[in-house]
Chains A and B, each alone.
Chain A
């Protein structure tokens, strides 16, 4: 396993008007780690994700991924470098089929040209078949192969979350960012999710960074944790050390009482 960090975040600051949502955050991720980003509500976790994926402008600081500068790149370019994500409030293309949701994500890897698609060349047909096969494969990975032709918005919540993960996988990502993947799941579903994420990391050799409030999942799954509070990174370490970190406990308790 390589030891040089894959993702490096250096002094990241994100400011909305006068509000510093993320302040001087530094962390790095080694390849194929299962990492968690935790912290009380409003700590700035999703903002870090948004900054990483280019969805909100970085005020200062740098983000690099495999030694490429990603700071303030357009989101679609970041996707091309191999960072995929899911969203806290599931952003599936609700009116499209599950299969189409996945096929859209293959966009960056499509080779055929506009003319090929308009005139339905052999190349187009071959590649479309490949895309469909790949999408079905990804669906099978999240155990939803039989739902390919369903309209995405009509699926139950837990399945939608899995479709979103499968869709992210279609990008062939090196880093997968999961924003509260277990939200709204029952304990059984959460357990399945845990196994799924582990399997994905092992089978596809990807790095996973997730935001999660379900501490049981986080502690069982993650190998490394980053704790955010009011935009500051207050602790880093393995789950054990975090559990015993006083500042973290205080932040959470303070968060509870507020």
Chain B
């Protein structure tokens, strides 16, 4: 190899190293780390969270910061990979000296970061992590979302008690903990309430063809079909299900909440029910305000992950305010006790156990719009 080529390569490498050195931090700010998935196959969710979190932090700083101190956000990408998330966490803790970690977005990443935060004694709050096991890792671990078991139970109760459904089928993503967790909770509660799960089918993350599973389900002709997954997969499933002749009542989860659902489902989502945090039509000013501003800023309406990301910032802000400092012990205490936060996904009360206590709504898609059907106040967790 010629020396010129070697030199070019060397210069390229040096450039990368030089660019990668982080900028200098100011002293009078509160440093917060955000770990999210900006690249990789779950980037769409991670970018929603990133957008909402930066918007939330900008809001706080514009309003004068917290107790006079501005928030500075360090955003690190985890590629949706647990190993990378762990690296990012260590970097935030050791090199960036952040006061608190927001994120990561998906449960596998959260599960890799949580033991590190716990061992380091640094509070962390995942706005979106739903896996039941997350908060049991330690007392420094908090979340802003529902537990899978809570949401799955709510939908099962609603289906059995309010809709009077006796038979349900489930189609879920066997490779996704969110989907599996919701399916487990739904199944348990539904059977407890005397219902019967007559068929179950599964698929894997990244699949686009569900016709085999749906044809099998169609043969059993279930009264209702529970589809615990994000809008990106639920949409195509809804469309394919209807085209294959399934006319069951479709039951969904908060992951369905996206402006794109209707287009992805080809309009076949009509009549479906979901559990959600808030109802865009009737809920608070904060919610309306958030949706309007997010839409304006990013050119698309927020999905559920964006709303949760924004609320993560609100929870963090009230905890920082309540703690009065960035002392981890005080912050941890505050994160477990702050309450009455008027957030985009409704009123949030935190709990020392780590999962917020918030109400849920059941929405029904009627004429292409989400319509409030029921409001369920939290009955414990």
Q: Do chains A and B touch in the complex (CB under 8 A)?
A: no
Chain B positions within 8 Å of A, measured between CB atoms, are: none
